[in-house]
Amino acid sequence: MSSGKGRIVYISGPVVKAELPGALLYELVFVGELGLFGEVVRIQGDMAFIQVYEETTGLKPGEPVVRTGEPLSAWLGPGILNRVYDGVQRPLSLIFDLTKRPFVARGINYEKAPPLDFNKKWKWIPKVKVGDEVEVGDILGVVPETPLVEHRILYPPIYRVGGVVKYVAPPEGEYTIDDVIAEVETKEGTVKVKMWHKWPVRRPRPFKEKLPPVEPLITGIRTIDTLFPIAIGGAAAIPGPFGSGKTVTIRTLAMYSEARLVFPVLCGERGNEAADALQGLLKLVDPNTGRPLMERTTIIVNTSNMPVAAREASIYMGVTIAEYFRDQGYDAFLMADSTSRWAEAMREVALRIGEMPSEEGFPAYLPTRLAEFYESW
């Protein structure tokens, strides 16, 4: 995959128009001298419209745009739990800035802030042996990531064919996520499997079969469970105006529902809202074990200096991580607060693209995006 260079032609808030030949739809690109994160959301010949996930103040036409040849992806593997990330999975330091808001300086890319720790060594418990036949999705081994969650390492869906296990890393050692923990001989060659892999956030992760929602997800909240139940695998909307106790409701759901893992995605309305909600979640205790709730959680939060466009990335990032744990055989509960911010982001981006010198109108994709996210039964 080539990584070409282009240049900025026009800037309008979070949207940048660039001359970027060969760009692919939803390709991850780095914009300007600072190398801001962006996604290509529309292509017109050699021109690309880019949704930038960081403040574009100070960007100038003529500055470079670098292609990565890859889509925005989640980095999935041990070390993902008990973490707070921004919408493009940069880990937030728990040392906030002076105004007590989660903050990431602009231009921090994955090299400076890798989503996963590549130095940490994990205990590895293999579940397959040499000679076993494995197919995509099989559990190769487990890593006791936290006292609350056993991280199951699958033969990941980035590979399309199974095969026979040729090598399994012995359990006496401890391994980083980048060490090879298994080798599988397939008809397309030898696959060296590691504990981590990348998955494009806009692509739903594959599964064998989708089941109708028949079992309730017990939340422990009587009004919900008895009057307006939610099914495992279902979706609920919570309109929650200011002063309605939404934060407490969301916290109760996170702590007491019977879902094994919880994934809050915080897109606050005001800069402080996400920070406050975050502070609250970090302190929660898992009622069944007394351990920190963070040990069965990953939080995605919009930082105060990220523009509205970043909210869309947050939602997709959160749902991809949730699917990743679903694939391991867990019940994952994603709580997005609030999706209205996401839709506003989409509206603003569409508006700005529409304002730019362009021949075609911009399609109304809001309902489609929402449907993709929720799944209608």
Q: Would you give the binding string for other proteins spanning residues 335-354, x where CB under 8 A is met? A: xxxxxxx-xx----------
Output the six-digit token pair for 141. Answer: 């081994």
CB of 129 to other proteins, least distance (A): 15
CB of 20 to other proteins, least distance (A): 29
Kindly identify the residues of this chain, within the stretch 69-88, that bind other proteins according to CB under 8 A.
none
As a whole number of angstroms, the distance between CA 197 and CA 59 comes to 33
Q: Is 289 in the site for other proteins (CB under 8 A)?
A: no
Buried (b) or exposed (e) across 363-373, using 16+ Cβ within 10 A? eeeeeeeeeee
Residues forming beta bridges with residue 190, ordered by sequence position:
185
Q: Is 249 in the site for other proteins (CB under 8 A)?
A: yes
Q: Is 24 in the site for other proteins (CB under 8 A)?
A: no
User: How far is the first Cα of the chain from the last one, in angstroms, to the nearest whole number?
Assistant: 38
Q: Is 164 in the site for other proteins (CB under 8 A)?
A: no
Q: Are strands 139-143 and 125-126 parallel, antiparallel or unpaired?
A: antiparallel
CB of 253 to other proteins, least distance (A): 6
DSSP 205: P
Q: Would you give the binding string for other proteins spanning residues 83-122, x where CB under 8 A is met? A: ----------------------------------------
Q: Is 234 in the site for other proteins (CB under 8 A)?
A: yes
CB of 301 to other proteins, least distance (A): 15
CA torsion angle 14 37 48 2 (round to 10):
180
Complex with other proteins: residue 22 or 234, whichever CB lies closer: 234
Q: Is 129 in the site for other proteins (CB under 8 A)?
A: no
CB 165 within 8 A of CB 44: no
Answer for which of 110, 256, 271, 284 binds other proteins (CB under 8 A) is 256
CB 100 within 8 A of CB 316: no
Q: Is 259 in the site for other proteins (CB under 8 A)?
A: yes
Q: Is 280 in the site for other proteins (CB under 8 A)?
A: no
Q: Is 322 in the site for other proteins (CB under 8 A)?
A: yes
Kindly list the distances between the CA atom of residue 183 and the CA atoms of 12, 127, 150, 188, 317, in Å, as whole numbers in the listed order. 48, 14, 22, 13, 29
CB of 153 to other proteins, least distance (A): 12
